[in-house]
Structure 1
């Protein structure tokens, strides 16, 4: 799926997708959670001009939706994944916990999505080489959203992340292979 990007919004030094997205292509394979061998941490892709098509069309929703700069994944610790958007679902992939989870912008944005009928899922990474854990948490978060209670909302988000971290993470079966030329 390719979504229209916001003008003048670039990844900059953010390389979170180059770390968390698993790839198993003929020219490039890397396990989930392993930084791509072509990625320069904090700078981006060293083979950007000839990168595989998958890398050319996958963007987090921070590049697509009007979200503040605080939502940029390397700043927030949250990747807003595009998969599921066509079904009215947004996945917040929490790659690391940060103060952003307690930010009013985080609460207000998710509250707005829930009020609009968007299903919200949380996801967390497992060990390198395993698929992440994911769960739809809309109904769990709804009471805090309806009460306008950011503290209860944060407590529910953190409880969900704790529960997801206990998941029996499954191996992705990908062996690193780098052959982009």
Structure 2
């Protein structure tokens, strides 16, 4: 599924997807969590004009959904992943714990999604070369949301992240290969 992008939104210096997304294509392979060899950190793709199709069509939901600029992944530490949206699931891939997670914008937005019947999953990265851990946490977060309690909500989010970080991360089996021409 491809969502239309918001015309005023650009990635700017954010390159988080170039780091976390695994690729295993004939012309480009990179393990999960490794910054692509063609990416200039903070600037973007050095082979942008000839980048693979996968890189051309993958965008985080910050590019497609009305979220504040604070949600941009390099600022928030959270990638709102598009995979699963067509099935009513939004995955919040927490790259790093940041003050953003403690903010009202995060609480209100996630509460709104859950109120609309959208399932919410949390995900965390593992070591480079391993798949992330992910769990749907809607029912776990719902009591704090229904009580309008951002402190309990944050405690539940952090407890979920703690648990996910204890996951037995599985290797992705990808060996880096750079041959885009």
Q: Same fold (TM over 0.5)?
A: yes
Shift of 1:71: 0.1
Per-residue displacement from partner, 1:22-81 (whole Å, max 9, x unpaired)? Answer: 000000000000000000000000000100000000000000000000000000000000
Q: Which residue does 1:132 correspond to in 2?
A: 132
CA distance in 2, matches of 1:67, 1:12: 16
Distance in 1 separating the partners of 2:13 and 2:83: 23
State the partner residue of 2:34.
34
Secondary structure of the residue aligned to 1:19 is: helix
Corresponding residue of 1:175 = 175
CA distance in 1, matches of 2:75, 2:165: 21
Give the alignment of 1:6-155 within 5 angstroms: 6-155=6-155
Shift of residue 8, structure 1, vs aligned partner: 1.2
CA drift at 1:3: 1.3
Q: Any stretches of 5+ residues in structure 2 without a counterpart? A: none
Aligned to 1:157: 157
The 1-side partners of 2:49 and 2:68 are apart by 28
**Counterpart secondary structure, 2:92:** strand
Unaligned segments of structure 1, at least 5 residues: none
SS of 2:91's equivalent in the other structure is strand
CA distance in 1, matches of 2:9, 2:49: 18
| Secondary structure at the counterpart of residue 80 of structure 1 | strand
Instruction: Report the 3-state secondary structure (helix = DSSP H, G, I; strand = E; otherwise coil) of the residue aligned with 2:151.
Output: helix
Distance in 2 of aligned mates of 1:25 and 1:95: 24
Post-superposition, which runs of at least 4 consecutive aligned residues in structure 1 deviate over 3 A? none
In the superposition, the TM-score normalised over structure 2's length comes to 1.00
Distance, in Å, in 2 between the alignment partners of 1:112 and 1:57 is: 27
Q: 2 CA distance for matches of 1:28 and 1:83?
A: 21
TM superposition shift of 1:129: 0.0
How far apart are 1:2 and its partner, in Å? 1.8
The total of aligned residue pairs comes to 181
